Amino acid sequence: MEGTMRGVCKMRPGKGAEYRTDLPIPRIGDDEVLMRVRASAICGTDLHIYSWNEWAANRMKNLPIVFGHETAGEIVEVGRNVSGWQVGDRISVETHIPCNHCFQCENDRRHICENMKLFGVTEPGAFAEYAPVPKDCIVRLGDGVSYEMGAMLEAMGAGVHGVEKAEVRLDELAQEAQDAASDYLRLQDIYREREAAEDELAHLYAEWERLAAELEEAKG
């Protein structure tokens, strides 16, 4: 696909980013698809890149680049080595791009690839109208999943992984929720009791002042 597109680009080291209307539409490789971006979310990583902290300065050596990695869209072009995908497919994107050749990748641990690249960090990302997506990073969206929901799949995945890692059980969650609700109701009761006690003290203090005033008047 030829032409230009709009996008947010990290042009140079330092704080900030630029909105551009003259970015070339990416030319995909044989192992990529071109995605028309329909939704993107802002991640904490994007804030690091915008602010240009130490992590961003050490990781990003290929400026200028379009950043942004939490995204979803539709395929508009398919590379010659990509099978099982076609124009019009609705997709999300896995951020981590494995090399498929290192020891970790060859032993089914591609998530800790020794030569890991990152979509939207070390490679062009999704804060633009179009983005090139490696075939290893394509995630199909179900018919009931909106583009906005698709853009949040990676963020949701982090939470799901944490729950699975902690081996949290639904019955345990339900019991914790019930206990929390009971604690909340008890706190409400305590607060009401305290309010009632404070009202009673205020009444007693007012009565004491009245009696003290009457005593002084009687002495006079």
Q: Which of 76, 84, 78, 89 is nearest to 31 (CA)?
A: 78
In the predicted model, is pLDDT for residue 216 greater than 80?
no
3-state secondary structure of 205: helix
Whole-number average pLDDT of the chain = 90
> How far lies 16's CA from each of 29, 40, 59, 93, in Å?
30, 19, 16, 25
Residue type, position 190, single letter: I
Distance CA 68, CA 6 (A): 14
Catalytic residue among 4, 21, 45, 96: 45
pTM summary value? 0.73
Asked if 38 and 130 count as a contact pair (C-beta separation under 8 A), the reply is: no
For residue 64, cis peptide bond before it (omega within 30 degrees of 0): yes
How does pLDDT run across 59-71, given as a tens digit for each residue?
A: 999 999 999 999 9
Q: Which of 69, 21, 16 is nearest to 42 (CA)?
A: 69
- Using pLDDT thresholds of 50, 70 and 90, give the confidence band for residue 151: very high
List, in order, residues 6 or more apart from 59 with CB less than 8 Å away.
Answer: 118, 121, 122
- Torsion, Cα 132 134 137 143, to 10 degrees, reads 60
Residue 122 annotated in active site: no
Q: Which tokens belong to 200?
A: 């009673």
Asked if 9 and 129 count as a contact pair (C-beta separation under 8 A), the reply is: no
Catalytic residue among 48, 69, 71, 96: 48
Asked if 87 and 77 count as a contact pair (C-beta separation under 8 A), the reply is: yes
Residue 95 annotated in active site: no
How does pLDDT run across 193-206, given as a tens digit for each residue?
A: 878 777 777 877 78
